[in-house]
């Protein structure tokens, strides 16, 4: 499942952050990456094009990451898509909220390529089952 051609969608309103995540993914060998600046744009892209993995920020204007996650899980076409929440919130209630909404993984900023790799592998392992 951990195919290097997997198509990622990185969602963050802060373009620097999208670039950071994109660079980290590239470091791990994933270079098929598209970006979206908020949940709305992301959802539109997801519905109109094929993606294999979503990495999304939490706090965004228009549509937050958690709203995006809920929308993905509620969509028949998209509900199996792995979604990794990226956020600076390490608060328990946030993590619970993300888990309840069906996040595949949760990663706290700032993180290294190694941490990201480890988290991705965990998700791939679950998906591969």
Partner 1 sequence: MSDFSGMDDLLQDFLTEASDLLADVDNKLVELEKRPNDKALLNDIFRGFHTIKGGAGFLNVDPMVSLCHRTENLFDKLRNNEIELTLELMDVILAATGVVRDMFAALSMARMPTAADPAILAALDDVLQGKSPAAHSSDEETKVEAVPVQAPAQATSQAQPISADEGPDWQQLYEALTEKTPAPVSPVLEVAPMKIETVVDAPQPPAKPVLADPMQALKPVPAAPAPVASAKSQASTGQQLAAQETTIRIDTARLDQVLNLSGEIGLTKNRLTTLRTDILSGKMDPNTLKALDEAIGQLDLLVSDLQNAVMKTRMQPIGRLFQKYPRLARDLARQLGKDVELVISGEETELDKTMLEDLNDPLVHLVRNAVDHGVETIEERIAAGKPPKAVVELTATQVGDHILIEITDDGKGMRPDVIRRKAVEKGLIDLEAANSLDDKQSLQLIFMPGFSTKDQISSISGRGVGMDVVRTNIQKLNGRIDIQSVSGEGSRFTISLPLTLAILPVLVVKVMDQPFAVPLAMVREIIPVRSDSIQEVSGRATIVVRDEILSVRSLAGLLGWPEDHLPSFGVLMQTAEHSFILAVDSFVGRDDVVIKPLQNIRPKGVAGATLSGDGSIVLVLDMEDLLASTNADSSAIKTGRFLTEKIA
Q: Which residues sit at the interface with partner 1, rule CB under 8 A?
A: 13-17, 19-20, 23, 57, 59-61, 88, 90-92, 95-96, 99-100, 104-112, 115, 118-119, 122-123, 125-126
Is 17 or 28 the residue whose CB approaches partner 1 more closely?
17
Name which of 29, 16, 100 is nearest 8 in CA terms. Answer: 29
- Say if CB 54 and CB 104 are below 8 A apart: no
Q: Residue 53 gets which letter from DSSP? A: E
And the tokens for 26? 């590239």
The CB-of-4 to partner 1 minimum distance in angstroms stands at: 22
Q: Cα–Cα distance between 23 and 129 in angstroms, integer?
A: 28
The CB-of-64 to partner 1 minimum distance in angstroms stands at: 9
The CB-of-8 to partner 1 minimum distance in angstroms stands at: 17
Name which of 105, 113, 17, 109 is nearest 53 in CA terms. Answer: 105
Is 36 or 57 the residue whose CB approaches partner 1 more closely?
57
The CB-of-76 to partner 1 minimum distance in angstroms stands at: 21
């Amino acid at each position: 499942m951990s195919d290097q051609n997997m198509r990622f969608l990185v969602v963050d309103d802060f373009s620097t952050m999208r670039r950071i995540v994109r660079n980290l993914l590239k470091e791990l060998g994933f270079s098929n990456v598209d970006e979206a600046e908020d949940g709305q744009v992301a959802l539109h892209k997801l519905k109109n094009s094929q993606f294999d993995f979503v990495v999304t920020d939490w706090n965004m204007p228009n549509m937050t990451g958690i709203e995006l996650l809920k929308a993905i899980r509620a969509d028949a076409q998209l509900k199996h898509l792995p979604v990794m929440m990226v956020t600076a919130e390490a608060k328990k209630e946030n993590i619970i909220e993300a888990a309840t909404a069906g996040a595949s993984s949760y990663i706290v900023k700032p993180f290294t390529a190694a941490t990201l790799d480890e988290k991705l592998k965990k998700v791939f392992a679950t998906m591969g089952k």
